[in-house]
Amino acid sequence: MSDGIVRSAQATSPTLGLPVGILRASSEREIEAAFDELSRNPGAALLVSVDPFFFTRRSQVTALAARHAVPTIYYTREFPEVGGLISYGTDVENVCELIGVYTGRILKGENPADLPVAQPTKFEMVINLKASKALGLDIPDKLLALADEVIE
């Protein structure tokens, strides 16, 4: 899990008056154990951090979140597309555009070390209404209006 995400969650926790627990998983069995632990904490919610391991197991993660009724936010749209509740993260197409621009500049002779550091500038939110209904959650109209895509 990204240390920056952990620090941000821990820094925000006192402001919101909510406890933050860090669950780590590096196998399918550990993912199941993490959801078993979460299900013993009424009102628990989960933020899945950016990690290729979780991405490759997105069907398992979203199915366990549904089975254990744990509201979960993910970092990329592919999770709500397979049944997850909500995602908020960088727009992959925007990142690919940045890669293309940098590649073009390098191929035209610019020194990579001289190029400025670029960060994604576009983020997207995807909400899965079927998942919210299954969890018994009403998504506020204001949030739905901000979403880049709403899956019905």
Question: Tens digits of per-residue pLDDT, 31-50?
Answer: 999 999 888 888 888 889 88
Domain boundary assignment for the chain: 3-151
pLDDT in tens, 42-95: 888 888 988 889 999 999 999 999 999 999 999 999 999 999 999 999 888 888
Residue 33: both structure tokens together:
């154990």
Q: What kind and span of H or E run contains 47? A: strand 46-47
Task: Check if the beta carbon of residue 61 is closer than 8 Å to that of residue 54.
Answer: yes
CA pair distance 137, 151, nearest whole angstrom: 15
Q: What is the mean pLDDT of the chain?
A: 90
Per-residue pLDDT reduced to its tens digit, 19-32: 778 888 889 999 99
- Fold adopted by 3-151: Rossmann fold (3.40.50)
Interatomic CA distance for residues 50 and 53, integer angstroms: 9
56, 60, 65, 66: CA torsion to nearest 10: 130
- Smallest Cα–Cα separation from 21: which of 43, 39, 46? 46
Could you give the CA distance from residue 118 to residue 98 in angstroms, rounded to a whole number? 8
Q: Which residue has the tokens 């509740």?
A: 85
- Classified as helix, coil or strand, 119 is coil
